[in-house]
Chain A
Amino acid sequence: MSLAYYPGCTLKTRARNLEEPAVASMEALGLHLDEVPRWNCCGAVYSLADDDLIHQVAPVRNLIRVKKQGKTELVTLCAFCLNTLKRANLLMKENVEKRDTLNDFIDEGIDYSGEVKVVHLLEVLRDDIGWDALSQKVKLPLRGLKAAPYYGCTLLRPREVAIDNVETPTVLGDFLKALGASPVDFPESTRCCGSYQVVNSPDDIAEYARPILNSALTHGAEALVLTCPLCDYNLARGQKELINKGSGFREVPLFYFTQLLALALGLDPQVCHFELNHGSPESLLREKDLLSQSRSVQSIGG
């Protein structure tokens, strides 16, 4: 079975460590992620201005291309792309006047009115595959890995596009449990990482990261699990600055959820591209004996 899949620009450059383990893992689970033909940028940020329809063109054009692909559901990996595409989809569904203007302008030959369902890969794992079925596919359970699920904003806010309960989300924690890891709940798991605010105020990046990292660490986390390349960028830069300031922080590895999925499914760790990660995740994995390669070497040797 194949699913229409929207990667997003960052996943093709800086965040290949988010995409490649996902594609390989889904293949291992029997689902082919079929890239939307001729996809373009999702728009990056959903425009909140009332009359700024031009910034809806990019996400809506992608949704039209999904419809042209003959698919009714679109899977995303990047939390920001999910948010932008889902909100633009909602606009096309609910606002007839703006929908007509956009359809007139976009000139793709077919009209669109929000008929594609935009979902996140975590929803596919939860709703289509199911946690029990997923845990049965796990070959190398991530035993002993204390990982804090960090949601950030865009998976959960605003409420109408949330993939889980806005106040007390569990999807990432349930996912980690299915992989055999020990999720660490912490109160700042939905606190904003600073998002694009840090572009205008780069000095604030450490102060955005501080409460999130502090909270996760004091609750016993050894690593944070993310879904968004912007969260990754901000938390990585933030902790680097905190360490440089001599605030007594030690480096916390940041994982994408898809990397842990690939590891647990027993795929070659090379597909995870750990070289693109921050906070030396491989040494933590080696410490926990969770790198499948070193494991298999051990079992052969033992």
Chain B
Amino acid sequence: MSAKQTKKKSATAVKHRARKPAATAVKEKSQIAAKLIPIYIMGKRYEVPEGLTIMKAMEYAGYILIRGCGCRGGTCGACGSVYRKPGDYKLQVALACQKTVEPDMYIAQIPFFPANRATYDFAGLTAAPEEVFKLYPEMFRCVACNSCTKACPQGIEVMDAISALKQGNITVAAQLSFDCIQCGLCTSRCFGELAQYHMLQLARRIYAARIVPRAEHLAEMVKAVDEGKYDRFLDGLKRAKDDELKKLYQEREVEPMAAGEDWKPKDTRYL
């Protein structure tokens, strides 16, 4: 995306190109090998090459995505989408950058969904579940309908994680929701108007900062670094000429892929 495009302050998340996509598709049909399949984007029919992701298909159809797309690698959570197939009442969910199009899919992106996010001073929070209850009292509106779990493109048992949180079990809530990418599809489907992904993010923050044991070896290493254990080695590297640095780099000892726990380098000066 060019800088010029990002500067345009558009109220809409998706914009349409000036050229006619349908006409383009017809013109390009003879030139591309892929078979064209029909899909419906926000109710309008387009023919797109099979094998494209929903996101690529939307772009092929002429949409310029200035919101609702981010990493394009399935980790940023910006492109949550819903779709249905004809004859099936089930609502399906996907990340637009991951799911390849299927014939006759009806697709809509939900790049953003308004959600209540509590404000808190994390430094003052303990691991007491009551503090989470106070920040998100609406948690107790959950009726266990399980729609959140069905809406999760990451396959997280969202309802179970919320149940764990209600039971004061921050650890289980954090562990169950570890793969959350904050796309917000759970919230878009919630009968009780919960913002599960914000609540569970808080659970993971508390878990990481207050519950998981600190890694003692890391603290020891930081202390050793602070005390200057590596200063002379670093100084040596700083003084090295380019050729010398290249040689050191090329001849460095690399830990083998299948190294065991007890593997040690031949040169143990830095351990």
On whether the beta carbons of A58 and B129 are closer than 8 Å, the reply is no
A-B contact count (CB 8 A): 45
Q: Which of B130, B144, B150, B168 contacts A58 (CB 8 A)?
A: B144
- Per the bound structure, the CA–CA distance linking A106 and B163 in Å amounts to 16
On whether the beta carbons of A12 and B143 are closer than 8 Å, the reply is no
How many of chain A's residues touch chain B, expressed as a range?
10 to 19
Closest to A52 in B: B143
Closest to B144 in A: A58
On whether the beta carbons of A43 and B143 are closer than 8 Å, the reply is yes
Q: A12-B169, A13-B130 are in contact. Are A40 and B163 (CB under 8 A)?
A: yes
Q: A40-B159, A40-B160 are in contact. Are A58 and B143 (CB under 8 A)?
A: yes
Closest to A42 in B: B144
- Per the bound structure, the CA–CA distance linking A129 and B142 in Å amounts to 37
Q: A40-B159, A40-B163, A41-B163 are in contact. Are A57 and B145 (CB under 8 A)?
A: yes
Q: Which of B129, B160, B163 contacts A13 (CB 8 A)?
A: B129
Q: Which of B130, B144, B169 contacts A61 (CB 8 A)?
A: B144
Closest to B160 in A: A38
Chain B binding surface, main DSSP class: loop
- Per the bound structure, the CA–CA distance linking A38 and B160 in Å amounts to 6
| A55 close to chain B: CB less than 8 A | yes
What are the residues of chain B within 8 A of A12 when measuring CB–CB? 167-169
Instruction: Quote the shortest CB–CB distance from A77 to chain B (angstroms).
Output: 14
What are the residues of chain B within 8 A of A13 when measuring CB–CB? 129-130, 167-168
Within 8 A of B (CB), among A39-91: 39-41, 43-44, 54-55, 57-58, 61
- Per the bound structure, the CA–CA distance linking A39 and B144 in Å amounts to 10
What are the residues of chain B within 8 A of A105 when measuring CB–CB? 145
| B205 close to chain A: CB less than 8 A | no
Q: A13-B129, A40-B159 are in contact. Are A55 and B143 (CB under 8 A)?
A: yes
On whether the beta carbons of A54 and B143 are closer than 8 Å, the reply is yes
| B191 close to chain A: CB less than 8 A | yes
| B146 close to chain A: CB less than 8 A | yes
On whether the beta carbons of A41 and B146 are closer than 8 Å, the reply is no
B 144-185 to A, binary, CB cutoff 8 A, 1 in contact else 0: 111000100000010110010011110000000000000000
Closest to B169 in A: A12
Instruction: Quote the shortest CB–CB distance from B133 to chain A (angstroms).
Output: 8
30 interchain pairs, CB-CB under 8 A: A7-B167, A9-B167, A9-B168, A12-B167, A12-B168, A13-B129, A13-B167, A13-B168, A38-B160, A38-B163, A40-B159, A40-B163, A40-B166, A41-B140, A41-B142, A43-B143, A43-B144, A44-B140, A54-B143, A54-B145, A55-B143, A57-B143, A57-B145, A58-B142, A58-B144, A61-B144, A61-B146, A105-B145, A106-B146, A107-B150
Known: A41-B142, A58-B143, A106-B146. 12 other contacts (CB 8 A): A12-B169, A13-B129, A13-B130, A13-B167, A38-B160, A40-B159, A41-B144, A41-B166, A43-B144, A54-B191, A61-B146, A107-B150
3 A-B pairs with the lowest CB-CB distances in the bound complex, closest first: A58-B144, A13-B168, A40-B163
